[in-house]
Homo-oligomer: A and B are copies of this chain.
């Protein structure tokens, strides 16, 4: 997917600059814009304490038409009261005003604001205002502009996270491409990050909303780095209809193909978030099978994924499977204790109430890989769930104990 990015989607422009929020001098203001009125759907954090951009974004996405997103990193504009709300609206208004000079005519409500970074600080609005003016002139649709956008939304991420696909049924070619950021305060539900997916599909708003919710539940809501559901974050998908495909209906093959492609792109982004969790050295997949309900499978998988004892064992490459099994045990889901089984890297280590007796040196070797798979079967039903997470390292502590307010 490396040769495509978000500006590979026909009709989308993007870019990012450093406007002065981040002390590091890295890009901290990013913009994604459609050259024509589009439909959008978004899901936002479930945290009860939400940032001003979430309040405003929820309002604007309901208004119907959407033209683009204005994003800053380095300051989350959360816990900032009325002034924060006014600042979030102003980001949209300035974007609309400046882009109208480029012939993209829209209202304040046509844009969604996003902010990520530290909580409890006001945005430096002079810098943001000047930055929007500069950025509005610079955005474009080249590959480089897409890369800039992916850079501009990052916080403690060590790399950009992008994915794209092109699919078609018959003569219709549709492009879906996205970029997202982690990498701390990553936990479902939703919350967790900023993710942007653009597509030239012509998809009715109601079907786009359905696809976005379904996709979020199976991808971004299955990622946990530190179980800390953030106050800010969101997944938005914008469809500009430029592909001029036949009308999608809930049962059409084309809509199904669109949903599958969207899921693919989002799944790739979700895995990238987990793999680049703060301090992560490994991508970890936790599978729980044999559950009575899918929700219980997910609860058990989350309990395993969020246990610091599990995450440190994986970091150390230690086949200490008692931690995996016991985490499922305290997750308060139904299980048949005598039939619980556990696999590490595909090797069964526990079953029938006792160790399988496998040579743990083999299991240890499997745990040294960059991608570690843990599976626990609850022995009571047929439902399953899969969660993406990462290991817990000293580097996580360094990043988060030394992060400055």
A212 smallest CB distance to B (angstroms):
21
A48 touches B330 (CB 8 A): yes
Question: Restricting to A194-231, which residues have a CB under 8 Å from any CB of B?
Answer: 226-231
SS of A interface (majority): loop
Interface string of A309-323 (1 = CB under 8 A from B): 110110110111111
In the complex, which residues of chain B have a beta carbon less than 8 angstroms from the beta carbon of A120?
Answer: 321-322, 325, 349-350, 355
Name A191's contact: one of B84, B330, B335, B354 (CB within 8 Å).
Answer: B330
Tell me which of A164-172, A253-261, A393-401 binds B.
A393-401
Q: How many residues of A contact B (CB 8 A)?
A: 71
A31 smallest CB distance to B (angstroms):
25
Question: Restricting to A354-394, which residues have a CB under 8 Å from any CB of B?
Answer: 354-355, 360, 392-394
In the complex where A120-B322, A231-B329, A322-B76 touch, is A354 in contact with B184 (Cβ < 8 A)?
A: no
A65 smallest CB distance to B (angstroms):
29
Closest 9 pairs (CB-CB, A-B)? A119-B322, A49-B329, A316-B401, A312-B400, A81-B354, A229-B330, A81-B353, A47-B329, A394-B394
* 10 A/B residue pairs, CB under 8 Å, sorted by A: A80-B353, A81-B352, A81-B353, A120-B349, A121-B355, A185-B326, A226-B308, A228-B307, A396-B397, A397-B397
* A interface, CB within 8 angstroms of B: 46-50, 76, 78-84, 118-121, 184-185, 187, 191, 226-231, 306-310, 312-313, 315-316, 318-323, 325-330, 332, 335, 337, 340, 349-350, 352-355, 360, 392-394, 396-398, 400-405
